[in-house]
Structure 1
Amino acid sequence: MECGEGQEPLKVNGLYRVNEKALNALDADAYATLRSGPMALAHAQLFSMSQLSQLTEGAKFHTRHGSADAALENLDKLFGEDDDLAFDFDS
């Protein structure tokens, strides 16, 4: 993954990306063949590349602040563990 100035490259395993140069080099017949489904997915992946920085920041946040289990424990401390709230939708 590309990174900003002064940042180390981040290696991400298990993610694939569309080769934009190859996509742009497709001839009209090949593009038309792929237009009905795969092409929408390819373009969506290209548009989503700008979100990788948010994914990276989220991963860093979770590394610094712990897992979701820790967050649930903090909510229990905030709201208490003796929650007797009940909903009756049959009335």
Structure 2
Amino acid sequence: MTDLQFSAVVTKVRFEYDREINRYLDEPKPSRCQALCSTCGTYHAASFEEMASRVGEEELRYVASMRAWNCCHEGVEPYDGFPEVPDYRGISGPDADGDG
């Protein structure tokens, strides 16, 4: 464990929306999420394309945030703990456990 807080290291989480992908949807889904690692100043992204089609903002935020934390602090648990893992039921992809 470290004395660093997750929210102090992982900052400026932002979503991007691709108008072409979302133009036929009533409620547009984000196409990409970026989170900043404040330790080194690098943005880390999670995109809709690399994840399953049923992924929403919560899942993209989680993946981008964890990538930003692991950039400089991999294997270290933050003082305030990690964010809650979103419910991934029904999502198939490389990290799924075969229940999709």
Q: Do both share a fold (TM > 0.5)? A: no
Structure with more of its chain in strand, by fraction: 2
Q: TM-score, normalised by structure 2?
A: 0.25
Comparing both chains, which one has the higher relative contact order based on Cα–Cα distances under 8 Å and sequence gaps of 6 or more? Answer: 2
Which protein has the larger Cα radius of gyration, Structure 1 or Structure 2? 1
